[in-house]
Amino acid sequence: MRIIYLLAAACLCSACSLGEGEGEINSDKLFVSSCWDGPFQLGPDFFAAQPYRATALSIRVQHGGDTEEVSDGAIILVDDINQVRQQIAADPNASFRVGLPPNVVPPGFPVVPDPNPPPVHLTLYLHRSCHAQNSALYAVDGNITFHALFNGNLNETNAAEKLTFAEFTDISVGDPRDRLPASTTIQHVSHLKGNFKFYFQRGQPAQPFP
């Protein structure tokens, strides 16, 4: 199962947004096996956005500007920029379901079709804090409110179209491989709350590329 794909999504193109913004991601009690079990505050100071596969947008909210492999942060993947922006235009406080894509399941578990799959996905990674092979948690349930979303145009000059602003009060995260047999229940689920706000700013890659 390649659930690591969310982390790779921010690294696919040489032109991306990077740099300053504001926000926070925290948990009253975060659990990462063999690493973390207690209160958590990310304190991000690096914000990036990258159009992905024509219609999607990958957002990186991170502490420090190093590569993801040596950093703590979160990747938020929006499947369809236009669909989300249309809903925001109709409702500036539009809320969107956050979860795993239907085809992302642990080995040995069947793929169950979802007629209304979540349009947003989130990965929290603690590679700096944990220094462990499995130090990422994936959103399995919750909602995120987008007040604004970058339109994905790398050459955009209108500041309003470059703004991304989102908030969430309870997104459940866990390791999909930690799933009980014959059940959809994932053990050791943690709860995140947070927000982020920044303007797309085109620049050089935020990290080295091969």
DSSP string, 160-193: HHHEEEEEEEEEEEE-TTSB-TTSSPBSS-EEEE
Q: What is the pLDDT of residue 55?
A: 93
Q: What is the pLDDT of residue 204?
A: 55
Q: What is the mean pLDDT of the chain?
A: 84
Predicted confidence (pLDDT) per residue in 47-70, tens digit: 999 998 889 999 999 999 888 889
Q: How far apart are CA 120 and CA 94, in angstroms?
A: 13
Predicted confidence (pLDDT) at residue 128 exceeds the cutoff of 90:
yes
Give CA 136 to chain center in angstroms: 11
Place of tokens 């209108």: 158
Predicted confidence (pLDDT) per residue in 151-192, tens digit: 999 999 999 999 999 999 999 999 887 776 666 677 889 999
Spans of all domains in the chain:
5-11+18-203
